[in-house]
Amino acid sequence: MLRIAEEIVHIMHNDYAGCLDKKGWDSSDAFLEKVQQGNNLSSKEFLALVDDYLLDFKDQHLYMVADGKSVERPRTRGFSVRRYEDRLYITKVDSDNRLVPGMHFISVGGFSIRELREKHHRLLSENHPERENWSPILFQYEEGVVIDSKGNQQQITFRLFDKTPYVPEYSIRRLDEGPLLLTFTDFMNPDAIANLIEKHKDLLDTVDQWIIDVRVNNGGSDASYFPLIPYLMTEEGVELQNLDETMLFNCTEASSDRAVEVLKKDLEAVEDGHFRDVLRIFEREWTRHRGEGFVEFDFGDVVENTFVKGYRSPSQIIVLSDKMCGSAGDSFVEHVKKSSKVTVIGRATMGLNDYANLVPQSWDGYTLMYPTSRLSRIDKGEGMTGVGITPHVHISWTPDHSTCDPDLERALDILGRRAGGQDRNRESRCEVSELL
């Protein structure tokens, strides 16, 4: 574990895309000392030390996972929460059937939510309650006091459950109100997304109003949503690239070798022609610039024209965004905001792409994922870290989001597809959410 820890420090000081920007931010000596002094550290304890060290770099695109056979299976508390004022509202229940969305915690581990916020400020480093991630904090405590919708209060002892395997959703369907609802929980499978678009081509070509839900989007590749782009742009055309911005890749020998290895595997698994072209360009550029440090890649072969002319239909598109949308999801929202046909509503995205294009370094049982590219907007103080890509229309997260879907309702209002407009009642909000 000490050897792995030393290699992690080396990667962060040399191969990581933020190694120059964040020089001196980390306490590497203290980290290595803790690992060295830890007698017979368990995998869980070691990962906790690594996670704490990586927090120094303030980069949510940077993480370590345990993937060995001897490592404990991923576990969860069985529910998710989001803070509103001094309460933690349950937003989703996966396994713990004692709880339902809408209940809220007023304390955890004997601490009030305000006290926990102060105690764990290093983990909760976001600038707004809507952006905080409380999952790692819930793992540190064994009980909490919860209140149900009738005001009944009870103390519950937390349980651990095996994490439910993630199943991506790529779907297109027509709502009763008329618009299409497209949902993408990631952009990781270009073949599946391309096939979905082809399967529903008649609907996509004829329905004039769309709602695209990327509020939960776990990223992937920008090339995966390429088939959608012409639908989302105007007939007059939109320039997708920020011509004043550059992306530099830290092409150390180690990162180049890691990147090329991954790209070769991806090429074996992907059929989509455009996506394969993109992968080949990446492979060529990593190989060409191996050992050169920070350089700009030449993507001219596949993105020689970033001015995209779109279709007449659809003429009106709403994109739903939120904090759980990151990486390629960030890019998608940033790109579609450039089109006058699109209105983005909800909350700002995760904002991961200041440092992006992750590569893995694996050891027996562990894998570190770290970014290899940086955007020049960082140098102008215009980065997206901690800010995200902001929507055109911000909808504050409230406890109503735990049981209903105010975002979808607002989208339908903007499209003029709901009777009553703003004069809706609570029951109508819940009826709309059941459509999902």
151-167 pLDDT, tens digit each: 999 999 999 999 888 99
Residue 360 has pLDDT above 80, yes or no: yes
Position 306 scores a pLDDT of 79
- 253 close to 368: Cβ distance less than 8 angstroms: no
Q: Are 223 and 129 members of one domain?
A: no
Q: What is the token pair recorded at 328?
A: 């390629």
Side-chain half-sphere exposure of 93, counting CA atoms within 13 A: 15
User: Cβ contacts of residue 380 below 8 Å, gap of 6+?
Assistant: none
Q: What is the token pair recorded at 186?
A: 């990631």
- Where is the domain boundary, 131, 162, 193? 162
The H or E element spanning position 311 is none
Q: Are 157 and 253 members of one domain?
A: no
Q: Are 152 and 190 members of one domain?
A: no
Burial class of residue 154, CB neighbours in 10 A (0-12, 13-18, 19+): exposed
Question: How many structural domains compose the chain?
Answer: 3
- Where is the domain boundary, 66, 86, 121? 66
| Cα distance between residue 325 and residue 316, in whole Å | 22
CATH number at residue 191: 3.90.226.10
| Cα distance between residue 140 and residue 154, in whole Å | 20
| Cα distance between residue 12 and residue 24, in whole Å | 11
Q: Are 139 and 107 members of one domain?
A: yes
Q: Are 27 and 94 members of one domain?
A: no
Tell me if 102 is assigned to some domain: yes
CATH number at residue 88: 2.30.42.10
Position 127 scores a pLDDT of 77
Percentage of residues of the chain with pLDDT beyond 70? 93
Tell me if 425 is assigned to some domain: no
User: Cβ contacts of residue 28 below 8 Å, gap of 6+?
Assistant: 9, 12, 13, 53
Residue 362 has pLDDT above 70, yes or no: yes
C-alpha dihedral sign at 136, 140, 141, 142: positive
Average pLDDT over residues 61-90: 86
Residue 30 has pLDDT above 80, yes or no: yes
Residue 423 has pLDDT above 80, yes or no: no
Instruction: Tell me which DSSP letter residue 84 carries.
Output: E
Position 67 scores a pLDDT of 78
Tell me if 337 is assigned to some domain: yes
Burial 214-232 (b: 16+ CB within 10 A, else e): bbbbbbbbbbbbbbbbebb
Position 68 scores a pLDDT of 64
Average pLDDT over residues 281-285: 96
- 207 close to 179: Cβ distance less than 8 angstroms: yes
Beta bridge partners of 116: none
pLDDT band at residue 301 under the 50/70/90 scheme: low
Position 383 scores a pLDDT of 94
Residue 107 has pLDDT above 80, yes or no: yes
Tell me if 202 is assigned to some domain: yes
pLDDT band at residue 185 under the 50/70/90 scheme: very high
- Where is the domain boundary, 162, 181, 211? 162
Q: Are 148 and 185 members of one domain?
A: no
| Cα distance between residue 214 and residue 184, in whole Å | 6
Percentage of residues of the chain with pLDDT beyond 90? 81
- Which domain covers residue 255, as residue numbers? 170-359+369-410
Judged by DSSP in three states, 232 sits in helix
| Cα distance between residue 82 and residue 138, in whole Å | 12
Q: Are 395 and 310 members of one domain?
A: yes
Judged by DSSP in three states, 419 sits in coil
Q: Are 43 and 94 members of one domain?
A: no
Q: Are 158 and 175 members of one domain?
A: no
Tell me if 430 is assigned to some domain: no
84-102 pLDDT, tens digit each: 999 999 999 999 999 999 9
Position 145 scores a pLDDT of 98
Q: What is the token pair recorded at 175?
A: 């709502």
Cis omega before residue 314 (within 30°)?
yes
Residue 433 has pLDDT above 90, yes or no: no
Q: Which of 49-53, 146-150, 186-190, 431-435 has the lowest mean pLDDT?
A: 431-435
- 338 close to 237: Cβ distance less than 8 angstroms: no
Tell me if 277 is assigned to some domain: yes
Tell me if 189 is assigned to some domain: yes
pLDDT band at residue 424 under the 50/70/90 scheme: very low
| Cα distance between residue 20 and residue 53, in whole Å | 17
33-65 pLDDT, tens digit each: 999 998 789 888 999 999 999 999 999 999 999
Task: Show contacts of 5-8: CB within 8 Å, 24+ apart.
Answer: 5/31, 5/32, 5/35, 5/49, 5/50, 6/32, 7/361, 7/363, 8/50, 8/53, 8/64, 8/368
110-125 pLDDT, tens digit each: 999 999 999 999 888 8
CA triplet 401, 388, 103: central angle to 5 degrees? Answer: 20
Distances (CA, A) of 427 to 177, 254, 378, 403: 17, 57, 45, 11
- 323 close to 312: Cβ distance less than 8 angstroms: no
Position 330 scores a pLDDT of 97
C-alpha dihedral sign at 17, 19, 20, 21: positive
Q: Are 89 and 58 members of one domain?
A: no
Q: Are 222 and 341 members of one domain?
A: yes
Q: Are 197 and 144 members of one domain?
A: no
Q: What is the token pair recorded at 115?
A: 């006290």
202-213 pLDDT, tens digit each: 999 999 999 999
Side-chain half-sphere exposure of 87, counting CA atoms within 13 A: 17
Position 304 scores a pLDDT of 53
| Cα distance between residue 47 and residue 416, in whole Å | 50
